[in-house]
């Protein structure tokens, strides 16, 4: 025996009729669409809270019994179909005519660079008000169907949680993020390998991976 320890995680099997929950969990639209988030809350309110309101983590931990019961619940399924219909309609929208006078959706692409983007607590890559503002800019651009790409940093450790000790000192608690638990997908090249970008720095090179939200 090598003494190596392995962690075994048993995940539920999502019923076919609820399969698109995975799609909703991987799309940042959930961060500003209450009706999408509400579907997860209805499955298990307590788990939604303890999973940090993170839909991808939630779907890994929700019980099989809860999923099966929801799939057999006529009211839940009717509401789920309404949420999906609204979600699909949202993604089929075209740019507003007033905006298309200034932006060509086929030729133009706006790049928005920022050190932090505050979309939702489940994507902890922000620290304060300016990050929230940047996130709101992205949400508004999405709502208006503007060709828009936000470029930032996917931090391994997001903004810390803090406590105050008995002497009044701030104690910082950093929690590393697992990218597989975030609503992001790693970009790959034509061979299916992770995309690698080389950036020249004084006296050295820095290599970057790309993740898409």
Number of residues that make up the chain: 213
Show the domain range for 32: 16-92
Kindly give the residue spans of alpha helices, DSSP state H, lying in 19-73: 21-25, 34-43, 45-50, 55-61, 64-71
Q: What is the pTM of this model?
A: 0.85
Same domain? 119 vs 167 = yes
Same domain? 20 vs 87 = yes
Same domain? 84 vs 106 = no
Same domain? 140 vs 80 = no
Number of folded domains that form the chain: 3
Same domain? 120 vs 170 = yes
Same domain? 33 vs 98 = no
Q: Using one digit for the tens of pLDDT, what is the confidence trace for 8-24? A: 667 899 999 999 999 99
Same domain? 86 vs 125 = no
Mean pLDDT over each residue of the chain, to the nearest integer: 92
Q: Is residue 9 part of a domain?
A: no
pLDDT band at 5 (very low <50, low <70, confident <90, very high): confident
């Amino acid at each position: 025996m090598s003494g190596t320890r392995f962690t075994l995680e048993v995940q539920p099997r999502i019923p076919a009729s609820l399969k698109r929950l995975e799609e909703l969990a991987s799309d940042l639209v959930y961060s500003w669409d209450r009706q999408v988030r509400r579907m997860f809350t209805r499955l298990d309110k307590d788990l939604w809270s303890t999973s940090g309101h993170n839909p991808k983590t939630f779907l890994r931990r929700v019980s099989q019994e809860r999923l099966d019961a929801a799939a057999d619940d006529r009211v839940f399924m009717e509401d789920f179909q309404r949420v999906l219909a609204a979600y699909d309609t949202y993604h089929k929208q075209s740019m507003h005519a007033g905006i298309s006078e200034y932006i060509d959706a086929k030729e133009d692409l706006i790049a928005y660079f920022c050190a932090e983007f505050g979309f939702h607590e489940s994507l902890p890559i922000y620290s304060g008000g300016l990050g929230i503002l940047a996130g709101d800019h992205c949400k508004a651009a999405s709502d208006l169907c503007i060709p828009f790409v936000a470029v930032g940093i996917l931090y391994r450790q997001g903004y810390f949680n803090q406590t105050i000790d008995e002497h009044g000192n701030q104690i910082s608690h950093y929690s590393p993020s697992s990218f597989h638990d975030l609503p992001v997908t790693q970009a790959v090249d034509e061979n299916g390998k992770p995309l690698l970008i080389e950036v020249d720095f004084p006296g050295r090179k820095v290599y970057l991976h790309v993740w898409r939200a």
